[in-house]
Each structure stands twice: as structure tokens, then as C-alpha cells.
Structure 1
Amino acid sequence: MPSPLPAAVLFDRDGTLVVDVPYNGDPDRVRPMPGAVEAVAAVRAAGVPVGVVSNQSGIARGIVTRAQVDAVNARVDALFGGFATWQICPHGPADGCACRKPAPGMVRWAAEALGVAPEAVVVIGDIGADVGAAHAAGATAVLVPTPVTRQEEVWAAQAVAPDLQAAVRMALAGEAA
């Protein structure tokens, strides 16, 4: 019987792994979401690679620099023990790129970087764009609603978890959709 384990788990950054500080360019403002460090550790303990896929339109908007985003990501890496891949979309909503969630680019590129098929990946995030990117790439998704998640995004999601640790349990048990 094949293992239900995903080949990789990709996390959204802001609002999923860390408290969302809009357009954060300051590593000192990075705070893990409740239970997030433990949730990522559980994925690693199962032998599954972890990565991050994150829209960072503040770069295109001129609010933060790529160097500032990289510094924040380095802080996230330090707090969580490092991620096997980071995929960042630096574009704005109107740029028409292939990477900005809900487009599939970052999920596909993360899968490629990890040497796995997108269909074997689970994406965990807090908004519909995260779920949309997963599905557009052929991956599965688990939505973890926060106060910014719109109710219609919750209704549309096939797999919803009350918190990140529950989302990881679903992903590792093959219950993501």
C-alpha cells in the first residue's frame, strides 16, 4: 500500500507561518503563528521536505526591497530551522506574472526545486489564493482560516483546518484535498 505522505509540504509565509505584518521589511518584527514551529517540525519529523511560497508585492510597490524581504525570510528560516526551498513572487497584482498566487508558478517551481511532482505536494495557506495556486499547479491544499480569510474562501475550500497543526496532520494523513 502506498504511503499517504506527500512528497513535500509548502507553506504560505504571512498569516500562515508568521504573524502578518503588511509589507514587513524588518526581521525583528517576525513572530511565528501559534503552533507553527511545532507544525513545521512535525512535517520534518515525518521525513517530508518543507518549502515556502509567498507573494511579496511590496517589492513591486516600492515599499520594501528584495534585500529586506530576503532578510525577513532569513529570520523565518532561523526560527523554523530552514526551508528546503523559498519561492517569492516580487510582482504586483496587475503585473500578469505566472508566479503570483493564485497562479501556479511558485508551487510548480518549488516542486521542481525539490525534485517532486506538483501532484504529490500539499500547500497550506490562509487565503483562497493559496488554495487556488495549489489547485492550478495540480497540488492539493489545506486552508487555515484567519480573521483575514473571506467566508467565501472557506466555503470554496475542499480541506479546511482550524489551525496549522491540524492542517499538517491532515496533510500527513493524506486528508488534504
Structure 2
Amino acid sequence: MQPAVFLDRDNTLIANDGDLGDPNQVRLMDGVAGALKRLHDAGYRLIVVTNQGGVARGKYTEEDVDAVHQRIAALIDEAAETDGMLDRFYYCPYHPQASVEEYRRDHPWRKPHPGMLLQAARDLHIDLAQSWLIGDQPRDIQAGRAAGCRAILLTNDQSRHEQAEEATEVVGTLDKAVEVILNAAPARASTAARGSNLADNVAPTPMPASHSPRDVPDDTLRQMRQSMQELAEEIRLERMQRGDFTPLMMVAVLFQLLALLLALLGMLQLEQSTAFMNWMIGAGLVQLLVITTLLFDARR
């Protein structure tokens, strides 16, 4: 597992106080490329996590968000004279007061929720305990701390220091935030361990791909459905061979239905990782009970 620095986008990497959907309007903050290169060279993966409520308000589209992110990545690489500085972009297009109904919800990827960081950790094998978040809003800090990272608030406003109780440090510039990180516990990853920045992206995209909640694959339900079908087939064959349906087999069927119910309830909680895991653990335990019951019945 590798350490990462999670980066807020607006007013951390680029100057933006509004809804930005035009890549031609992207302007890097002063010193961004050099600061990120120091983190990159120290072995940190660099991951951008950003709320993009402008999509939910109908100001721009998810395609516009992707175009802006490609522009940011290109400008940073150009300024740093390198390739693939940023590893991933994660963004949340949802908002609880969205004007576009499709995006009207309080999604767990939306900061201050830690969903984007947790997903990045799963995708890129990030060690959250050794990672940091840098952002200019209290919600950034809350998301970082909720994910188990250390967090740095960027602000020169003394009045906002009171809002930063959860922050590990409060500094005025990205350069100073980088100093804090490198002086705290520099964790260098080898080039071999780090691998290619583009290995996780779909070719031929030359820049890091943007990821929204829609992009997360749902293989779990498919695997569970396949397991249920295989077990049902085993029960059917067992019945054909034995020619009867014993009380224990009836119990096994009831347990199997319960396991399926728990699994389906878990699927409804995919966006809440803790609840999802609890339901799936329950389904797994009941599944073991089904197998045990069938084995016991087979030995009778």
C-alpha cells in the first residue's frame, strides 16, 4: 500500500470561486506545479477530490468536468516538465438541493463525507493512515479526517482558524502545506512500487481519467447471483439423487432465502461502506449455515 496526498481542486489547485465548466478558463494557483512535483518525487500519489455541484445545478455537464480535469492535468505536467503528475480525479456531481432531479441527493462521495477518499483507497491501494488531505474549506478537512487521513487547511483568514479544530495544520499556501507533509513523515515509494500513473486508466486517454460515483463497478451483485444459482443447482441435483425432500433440506432452503435477502439488502447500501459490509457479512454467515446444514443432511 502507498501513501497519497488528496487535493481539493478549487482554490487549492486552480483559482475558482464559481461554477467552472470551461477548460479555457482554468488558471493554476501560484506555485502549484512545483509543490506537487515535490510530493510526487517524495513518493506520494496525488489524487484530486472535488465536489462538482454545478452539474446538479445544470451549470455544466459531467463531460465538461472531464474536460476541465484534462486541462488541469495538462497544465500541471507542462509547468512541472513531466508526465502523469496527477494519478486520479474523483468528483461528486450530486447535490441535495439540485435543480436537475437526476442529481438531487446527498451522496456519500460529497464532501464532507469521505466517500471519494475511501473509493480511491480501494482503487489504488492507498494507505489512508499514512496519507494527507489539503483543502481550503472545513468540509475538506472533515472528509480527510473521516477517512483516517491527516488534513491541512489552506487559509490566510485568521477568523477561519476557529473552524479548523479538526485540521492537523493550518497554513497559508500550498508550498507550506508540502513542507508540513515532507517534514512530518516522508514516506518514499520506489518507482517500481509506484508503477505507471496511467496503468489504471483506459487507453488511449493521455491524462488521468475522472471518476464519479457512476463509474464504480458493481461486480458484487453479479457474483452473489452466480453463487445463488450454483447452490440452487446443487440442491436440485441432490433432490433428484435422493428422491425426497428432507426436513433439513427445507431448513437449508429457508436459510438460503434469508442469505439472499441479506445480500439484496446489502446491495441497497452499496454507497454506505460500513452498512454494506455488515449486511454482506451477515449474508456470508447465513450462507455458511446453509452449507453446514446440507452437509449434515447428506451424511444422514
SS in structure 2 of the partner of residue 59 of structure 1 = helix
Tell me which amino acid in the other structure corresponds to 1:172: L
Deviation at 1:21, TM superposition (A): 4.3
Instruction: Provide the secondary structure at the position in 1 that maps to 2:30.
Output: coil
What stretches of structure 1 of length at least 5 have no aligned partner? 1-5
Does residue 23 of the first structure (1) align with residue 19 of the second (2)?
yes
Q: Specify whether residues 146 and 32 from structure 1 end up closer, same or farther in structure 2 by C-alpha distance, changes over 3 A only.
A: farther
Whole-Å separation in 2 of the counterparts to 1:15 and 1:164: 10
Q: Which residue among 124, 132, 145 is the counterpart of 1:122? A: 132
Return the offset for 1:146.
Answer: 5.5
- Following superposition, the deviation at residue 154 of structure 1 comes to 3.9
Higher-RCO chain (CA-CA 8 Å, sequence separation at least 6): 1
- Which runs of no fewer than 5 residues in structure 2 stay unpaired? 78-83, 98-104, 186-300
Aligned partners of 1:85 and 1:113 also within 8 Å = no
Map of 1:55-134 to 2, 5 A cutoff?
55-81=51-77, 82=84, 83-94=86-97, 95-134=105-144
Aligned with residue 42 of structure 1, among 38, 42, 59: 38
Relative to structure 1, is the Cα distance of residues 85 and 65 closer, same or farther in structure 2, using a 3 angstrom cutoff? same
Report the residue type matching 1:47 in the other structure. Answer: G
Identity %: 38
> Cα offset for 1:158?
3.3
Contact 1:84–1:114 (Cα < 8 Å) also in 2: no
1:139 aligns with 2:164: no
- TM-score normalized with structure 2 length: 0.53
Pairing 1:165–2:165 present: no
User: In structure 1, how many angstroms separate the alpha carbons of the residues matched to 2:165 and 2:124?
Assistant: 31
Q: 2-side partners of 1:172 and 1:51: how far apart?
A: 17
CA RMSD of superposed structures (Å): 1.9
> Which string of whole-angstrom CA distances, capped at 9 and with x for unpartnered residues, describes residues 99-136 of structure 1?
11110101111222221122221000001011000011
How far residue 66 of structure 1 moved from its aligned partner, in angstroms, is 0.3
Q: Secondary structure at the match of 1:160?
A: strand
Q: How many residues align?
A: 169
With normalisation by structure 1, the TM-score equals 0.88
Q: Comparing both structures, which one devotes a greater share of its residues to helix? A: 2
Structure with max Cα Rg: 2
